[in-house]
A and B are shown apart, each in its own frame.
Chain A
Amino acid sequence: MQRKKIHPHKYSLWIAMGSITMMFIGFTSAYVVKRSQANWLAFELPHIFWLSTAVILLSSLTIHLALKQFKERNMQRYKQLITLTAFLGVVFAVCQWLGFSQMKSEGLPLSGPVSASFIYVIVGVHILHVLGGVVALLVMFFRAYRTRVRSYSAVPIEVAATYWHFVDILWIYLLVFLSIAR
């Protein structure tokens, strides 16, 4: 009799994603509270954020394909695809960083107006979560090269893929939120 229950690690991941969501809800509610007070400086988000959005959306596609390749045991394609995904994750982080320098050159440093400080902190903490996903993908990558132990369980890559889609959706939410609530 096969168990239909969801794997405990996936379960833990869903709860962890709820937890991370709460953290960003904390940030964005702080943003809303602060925005309703006096001396709020509105400005336009760096345009490069739109490019990074395209990059992270693309990486969601590549990790989805990687999972598919893993299930079909095309390990060569799988390794290529998770490497590409990790690379796109780093490109995303670099784009965000370029956005920061653009803001800085426009006279909006971290220690500047609160509205700018919020962008640095919220986007910065999100970058950390993306880089956490990159680290997880690197671990998966080296696992795929192990010869002594071979794993046929798709659970780890499924967990990584779900998390990757999550940070992607989280970024879309943050982008929409920060564009609308300026």
Chain B
Amino acid sequence: MSNEATLHSQQEVMHGAGAHDHHDHEHHDSFISKYVFSMDHKMIAKQFLITGIIWAIIGAFFSVLFRLQLGYPDATFPWLESILGHWAKGGRITPEAYYALVTMHGTILVFFVLTAGLSGTFSNLLIPLQVGARDMASPFMNCLSYWFFFLASLVMMASLFVQTGPASGGWTMYPPLSALGDASIGSKIGVDLWLTSMALFVVSQLLGGLNYISTILNMRTKGMSMTKMPLTIWSFFFTAVLGVLSFPVLLSGFILLLMDRHAGTSFYLSDIFIAGKALANEGGSAILYQHLFWFLGHPEVYIIILPAMGMVSEVLAISSRKPIFGYLAMIGSLFAICILAFLVWAHHMFVTGLNPFLGAFFVLLTLLIAVPSAIKVFNWITTIWKGNIRFTPASLFSIGFVSTFISGGLTGIWLGNSSIDIHLHDTYFVIAHFHIVMGVSAFFGMFAGIYHWFPKMYGRFMNNTLGYIHFWVTLVGAYLIFWPMHYEGMAGMPRRYFDYSTWTSFNQFEGLNQFISFVVIIVFATQLLFVFNFFYSIFKGRKMTTLNPWKATSLEWTTPIHAGHGNWPGEIPEVHRWAYDYSKDGRDFIPQTEPLGPNESAH
């Protein structure tokens, strides 16, 4: 009876958003409404994923280009001139091009791949499927969210092709370099396009985030209480909360920056000389921008890592055939991370002129994050401990995630101390830290998610052998690339420099830099192998024949193999238990839809 009411009210919601009734009768979409301006959350997820993959190839390729410069500063590569033109005269990347490449590498990977591509894909795919809803709270807003992201992508892409090049003051866009068009060649229209693109991106994230939150809080099927939800949903929920609260602050910062660029205001500018001439701007503060930027910027790293954490929790429980260890502790630690995320932003500013007494508080709060992070790590390890592990590519990537999250997280304890940071800030140690803990780890979580839910998305499997090759080369390669950077950083080698060869103290790293660049090329090629596997499997992969290939408990595996818009052909199933009843009472797994037995107690 009540299920009927839920069904009815959801139909009403979809009507309100302009969708059609499609539960019981066959519904034909045109190509445009099915593949382009789709309002089906599953299609929007695929759109986010494929756009993210395209950006990831571009962003990773940029890193190959600048690693060529760092590893082989004296060599010339004539083919570079044929693709980059005057940015690589004579086959050597110019300093301006180098700065543009590192800036765009950061922007693309942080925002377009690991924010939109990761949480955009899996929040969209999994939230309605795992909470038992026909679609998002507002399918129309969800569609808008993707198209705002697409517009942001177009503008960012366009900035790569303007004559003065894209923004090149670093992905953080610190003023004054970003606020004054005359400051450098990469501060001209490239920065305007960057800011426009990012404003569109923020709108996209807010539209998406609103939907994720109201769907999770509002549209759960009967019986799906908050504490019966899979951890994936909890992590997407906290991710969306972080995004909705922190992206608007970034937008405020960008608006002030745009004013400084074009309206002659002095929010961030004071006492600046360009080519010996003093500018009129007075009374501004560059630190102000950093506060506004990092108030988003730090939650942003959790926006990136939380979805990966959620998916890894889910995949590890399924592949070790054991309930997740410490379900409530997992939720509690997500919540703690979410709160602390807003209280630690100034640890990015220890040496930029922040009051050292203020720094002490931020050190304490930063180190506190180690507690919930450690709880999560222990829970993952105890989940797989003595499990009957099935080493699918998804489970390998999940285990790899735990490994990189630990080794990258430990160096965070060093960097979180403001006194050690005096030596380590802006060195390769920082590069190594955040690439391992947020770059590689988030990618591993994303790969785990893609391999695991690929059958749900396309009704086919990805190739396992290619998956294993992909995993091992990426894991070994990631450590070979980033581990040596810790030593370079401890020796004081600064990041963002174009050429170290004139610097005698760092000549000892010449061979090491070549080695890193060499591994980067191999790892990049392996990612292309993954991309090939992905697209090949969409059309030619092994077909899915059973509904529930991984023998998982959660709701998404109760839908048909090629589920239409609305997900379940009949009624939405009712939920009776949590999502982690594995190896219980002598049974391998018990689906969430199965009522509790007479002598059975809930978890």
Instruction: Give A contacts to B, CB under 8 Å.
Output: 1-3, 5-9, 11-12, 15-16, 18-20, 22-27, 29-30, 33-34, 37-40, 110-111, 113-114, 117-118, 121, 125, 153, 155
Contact = CB atoms under 8 A, between A and B. Distances in A.
A8 B218 contact: yes
B570 interface: no
Contact of B285 (A16, A27, A37): A37
B16 A12 contact: no
Contacts of A125: 255
A142 B267 CA distance: 42
Nearest to A5: B218
The 3 closest A-B pairs by CB, nearest first: A111-B264, A26-B252, A23-B248
A65 B263 CA distance: 41
Interface residues of B, number: 46
B256 interface: yes
A37 to B, nearest CB: 6
14 contacts: A8-B214, A9-B13, A12-B138, A12-B214, A15-B209, A22-B244, A22-B246, A29-B291, A110-B263, A110-B265, A111-B263, A114-B266, A121-B255, A153-B16
Nearest to B265: A117
Nearest to A153: B16
A171 to B, nearest CB: 17
A111 B266 CA distance: 7
Interface stretch (B2-10, B97-105, B547-555): B2-10
Contacts of A22: 244-246, 248-249
A23 B249 contact: yes
B564 interface: no
B5 A33 contact: no
Contact of B264 (A7, A37, A110): A110
Given A8-B219, A34-B267, A39-B282, A19 B245 contact: yes
A117 B250 CA distance: 18
A153 B5 CA distance: 17
Given A2-B5, A22-B245, 15 more contacts: A5-B9, A6-B218, A8-B137, A8-B218, A9-B16, A11-B217, A12-B137, A12-B211, A15-B213, A19-B248, A26-B248, A37-B283, A111-B265, A153-B16, A155-B16
A113 B283 contact: yes
A7 B137 CA distance: 9
A37 B288 CA distance: 11
Interface in B208-266: 209-211, 213-215, 217-219, 244-253, 255-256, 259, 263-266
A1 B5 contact: yes
Nearest to B206: A19
Given A1-B1, A12-B138, A113-B283, A26 B253 contact: yes
